[in-house]
Amino acid sequence: MPNRKKPETGRKSAYVARNRVAILKAALTVFAREGLEATMEDVSDEAQVAMSTVYKHFKDKQDLIASTTAYAFSEWESWVQQQISEVTDPLEQLVMPMRIFLRAKDTHPEYAKLVAKNFGVVGQILPNLSSVISDQVIGLNKLKVLNVESPAIAIQNLLSVLVIQLVNQTLNPKATTAEADATIRIALAMLGISDAKAKKLTESKINL
Amino acid sequence: MPNRKKPETGRKSAYVARNRVAILKAALTVFAREGLEATMEDVSDEAQVAMSTVYKHFKDKQDLIASTTAYAFSEWESWVQQQISEVTDPLEQLVMPMRIFLRAKDTHPEYAKLVAKNFGVVGQILPNLSSVISDQVIGLNKLKVLNVESPAIAIQNLLSVLVIQLVNQTLNPKATTAEADATIRIALAMLGISDAKAKKLTESKINL
């Protein structure tokens, strides 16, 4: 494969990368606030960069939306990894991120709104969430902690529950954290986790 | 309460009701095809009635969307009641409509598309679906066929799974009916139904 462009290194590439992140942060703010109808111009205004700079990084709005969703998810995910770094029980390692996900309205309000108000992006985050949970479930199957016969479908179902509940938690002012946890407790039955165990896994206190 | 308007009776009222249904049918076609961005004018064109007639029945687009969704759901629901009229097993009476729901892409394609492409209407059909399933689950609890501790949350979870899977079945050309049935089989764990029983309930043949 011909090397079309020298990779950017040193100070210039750090500057370019910072610019890219600044645009992604601005896009997240704008799309969360105004929905996906917001324009590239709204994003360039928010980021305080020229339109040409936005287009240098993202070829069109579709590209910007996809990149913003991926960026918001990966930011959230690294943060979750820190939050659960001291969790050692393998089932808790599976369930805690689900409980934290349903608290995104408070911890990552723009990400929660991006998902809740723009259902189209759900299709983009599902594969990410899915692969994270899938690896864990397969691992737990091997350890005989779980015995899930059709992991792919069980996980898809679990994610359906989580995503719809995220929307509920974000948009419905009456939704409570207790309801979020109860949702997960019941959904864990689809992984063959007993209700007694599911109750224990979802009732511990979370400090974020 | 003062009687503001004499109820319309006889031939005239039958004519008005027919007109209303014609507009709802046209709106379903238009919204399923073009999404909720379609205009009142698109609907009046499709229904071949004057715009003033559309506005006589529906005060604005929001009203028309809500009425179309309610109409499509109630049409689907009465049809389902006929389909399951000979089912006598109480658990099958619960599960069969779920399996039929996930076949809407083939039996009621416009309804399926209306839901799949316009996620906003999901919020409108969930309460309808929810009350139907809720009555059944409470009945089955009384009969001791089921023993669901938190029916409201279990049903909400079940509906999340069904709705996301309806979208998948409608928009993803690779989705299969077997996958739809497997989805339900696994989701039934949330009602405390054993996998053996769930398998049996979801593998019988359906002729629609």
pLDDT digits (tens, 9 = 90+) for B56-80: 999 999 999 999 999 999 999 999 9
A175 close to B (CB below 8 A): no
Please check whether residue A27 is in contact with residue A72, taking contact to mean a CB–CB distance below 8 angstroms: no
Q: Examine the pLDDT at B41 and tell me if it is beyond 60.
A: yes
Chain-wide mean pLDDT for chain B? 90
List the domains of chain A with CATH numbers: 10-203 (1.10.357.10)
DSSP E strands in chain B: the ranges are none
Q: Which residues of B touch A159 (CB under 8 A)?
A: 164
Look at residue A6 in the predicted model and tell me its pLDDT.
53
Look at residue B142 in the predicted model and tell me its pLDDT.
94
Look at residue B7 in the predicted model and tell me its pLDDT.
52
Whether ipTM > 0.95 holds is no
The answer for residues whose C-beta is within 8 angstroms of residue A148's C-beta and 6 or more apart is: A137, A140, A141, A154, A191, A192
Q: Which residues of B touch A189 (CB under 8 A)?
A: 189-190, 192
Query: Which of A154, A164, A186 minimises the CB distance to B186?
Result: A154
CA B198 – CA B79 distance, rounded (Å): 24
**Are A157 and B192 within 8 A, CB to CB?**
no
Residues of chain A with pLDDT under 70: 1-9
B14 close to A (CB below 8 A): no
A182-188: long-range pairs with CB below 8 Å, 24+: A182/B150, A182/B153, A183/A102, A183/B153, A183/B156, A183/B157, A184/A95, A184/A98, A184/A99, A184/A102, A186/B150, A186/B153, A186/B154, A186/B157, A186/B190, A187/A157, A187/A158, A187/A161, A187/A162, A187/B157, A187/B190, A188/A95
Q: Which residues of A touch B189 (CB under 8 A)?
A: 189-190, 192
CA A88 – CA A86 distance, rounded (Å): 6
Look at residue A7 in the predicted model and tell me its pLDDT.
52
Query: Which of A157, A163, A164 minimises the CB distance to B186?
Result: A157
Look at residue B6 in the predicted model and tell me its pLDDT.
52
pLDDT digits (tens, 9 = 90+) for B149-183: 889 999 999 999 999 999 899 989 999 999 999 99
Alpha helices in A84-176 (DSSP H): 90-101, 104-107, 109-117, 122-142, 151-171
Query: Which of B153, B161, B183 minimises the CB distance to A182?
Result: B153
